[in-house]
Amino acid sequence: MHHFSLQGGDLFVEGCRISDIAREHGTPLYVYSAATITDNYDALATALAPLDPMICFAMKANSTLGVLSLLARRGCGFDLVSGGELFRVKQAGGAPHRCTFAGVGKTRAEIEAAILAGVYSFNAESVAELEAINHISGEMKQRAPVAIRVNPNVDAGTHAKITTGTYENKFGIAFEEIASLYEYAATSLKNLELRGVQMHIGSQITETGPFVKAIQKMLPLVSELKRKHNIQFFDIGGGMGIVYKDALASGKPDWWKANPQQMTPAMYAAAIIPLLKDLGLKILIEPGRFLTGNAGVLVTDVLYVKNTGAKNFVIVDAAMNDLIRPAFYDSYHEIIPLVASEGKGKLVPTDVVGPVCESGDYFTKDRLLPVLKAGDKIALMSAGAYGFVMSSNYNTRPRPAEILVKGNKATIVRKREKFEDLVRGETV
């Protein structure tokens, strides 16, 4: 679900024409729809209401303060992976007691900060980490709430770089070792409160099957942990996928209902509620991409068109440093010209590439696109998750501004970087 649409052939976000926003704020530019984010949150909260869940936005997907504050004001919690993210949550008005702290490499400083802030739970990923949290909380004369991240060894059927729930990757602790590890923690790590259990099987999962399979595998273990250790919650992770192909059409309510490739909150809820509702535990979920992925676009300007005979290159002013997903995950972003008069005529196979000195700096290869010319502006759709957060200053390129649209109002939520920003803290 999203609020991007073509009106008279021009691309709009809510009540704003995106070409107007781009004219005012320049390119490259991230543009987000507030209503899309809050609608996605509300739809998920409503569908899962029978579980009375705690939704913790996996803020590594999009940690811009303007975005976080929208969710914080709705009572959303956050799934953190660093001390920096904890700092951001507080800046955005989020509540640390509704935050989980994940990640395989938490530092002492991060553990201390999270204990002081009163996070809801540490999601621990190794024995050594549990021992470290136990030691640090003991020094602080506290008991730290923890859950252990279980690797259920279920293949999520997604891209290798975003699969996390099999024994081939670094996340969590093997399913078979969990029961004895809780025993060990209960008897030997007295500064820990065994508050819950967690799993996360991967990202961009577009069907309910892998979630159901993983939950079913976990249920006997979870019940045992509840009985023996009185745990309070089962955190089933994130990973709900979004539509990247036909992203624009996926904003239409009828398409949303009719299209089988869209896993809606209702479908997700219908699959998991029966498994979880009688468990007697608080259910946590950690959606990232699902809440913000289709809520943002990256707007870029065509600088040059270059036809080499073999290839038709459209060179734009955004690059892999602004949006790395195509280079990193071979990901697909739909490309839409901003105004009806641009990108006309027959479709031609086109490579859309950026200015960075890397062959990997492309947004698409041999995509059938309308003929574009210098000065045309295009939107790379579905760039609201794992977009700006993964941007860098490679090639000493200032990072783009970010705009949050609400109705017919467009607000700058992050200024475009200046060259001076890029050398701050450096000395000759």
Cis before 53 (ω within 30): no
The per-type count for the chain, helices as H runs and strands as E runs, is: 13, 21
Look-up of token digits 């252990």 = 148
121 or 191: CB nearest ligand PLP: 121
Q: State the nearest-atom distance from the C-beta of 221 to ligand PLP, in Å.
A: 18
- The partner residues of 402 in beta bridges, in order of sequence, read 30, 414
Nearest alpha carbon to residue 293 among 373, 402, 372, 204: 204
Q: State the nearest-atom distance from the C-beta of 165 to ligand PLP, in Å.
A: 10
CA separation, residue 161 to residues 165, 203, 281, 355, 385 (Å): 12, 9, 31, 25, 16
24 or 42: CB nearest ligand PLP: 42
CB–CB of 394/46 below 8 Å?
no
Q: What does the alpha-carbon distance between residue 132 and residue 139 come to, in Å, rounded to a whole number?
A: 11
Q: State the nearest-atom distance from the C-beta of 123 to ligand PLP, in Å.
A: 7
286 or 334: CB nearest ligand PLP: 286
Sorted by sequence, the CB contacts under 8 Å of residue 389 that are 6+ apart come out as 60, 61, 62, 63, 64
200 or 226: CB nearest ligand PLP: 200
33 or 100: CB nearest ligand PLP: 100
Q: What does the alpha-carbon distance between residue 196 and residue 222 come to, in Å, rounded to a whole number?
A: 9
CB half-sphere exposure, 413, CA atoms < 13 A: 23
Alpha-carbon dihedral sign for residues 97, 191, 109, 100: negative
43 or 240: CB nearest ligand PLP: 240
56 classed as catalytic: no
Q: What does the alpha-carbon distance between residue 79 and residue 60 come to, in Å, rounded to a whole number?
A: 8
Strands 233-235 and 121-124: unpaired
Q: State the nearest-atom distance from the C-beta of 201 to ligand PLP, in Å.
A: 9
CA separation, residue 181 to residues 171, 176, 216 (Å): 16, 10, 21
Q: State the nearest-atom distance from the C-beta of 199 to ligand PLP, in Å.
A: 9
Q: State the nearest-atom distance from the C-beta of 158 to ligand PLP, in Å.
A: 9
Q: Which long-range contacts (CB under 8 A, 24 or more apart) does 417-424 make?
A: 417/393, 422/393, 422/396, 422/398
Nearest alpha carbon to residue 199 among 163, 245, 239, 149: 149
Q: Which residue is nearest to ligand PLP (CB)?
A: 288
Q: State the nearest-atom distance from the C-beta of 117 to ligand PLP, in Å.
A: 19
72 or 156: CB nearest ligand PLP: 156
233 or 290: CB nearest ligand PLP: 290
CA dihedral 400, 405, 411, 416 (to 10 degrees): 0
Q: State the nearest-atom distance from the C-beta of 232 to ligand PLP, in Å.
A: 19
CB–CB of 190/137 below 8 Å?
no
Q: What does the alpha-carbon distance between residue 303 and residue 357 come to, in Å, rounded to a whole number?
A: 16
List residues binding ligand PLP (CB under 6 A): 58, 60-61, 79, 102, 200, 203, 237-240, 286-290, 385
Q: State the nearest-atom distance from the C-beta of 163 to ligand PLP, in Å.
A: 11
Q: What does the alpha-carbon distance between residue 146 and residue 253 come to, in Å, rounded to a whole number?
A: 40
Q: What are phi and psi of 172, to 5 degrees?
A: 70, -175
Q: What does the alpha-carbon distance between residue 387 and residue 383 come to, in Å, rounded to a whole number?
A: 5
268 or 290: CB nearest ligand PLP: 290
Instruction: Name the amino acid, one letter, at 243.
Output: V
User: 56, 76, 99, 357: which is the annotated catalytic residue?
Assistant: 357
Catalytic positions: 357
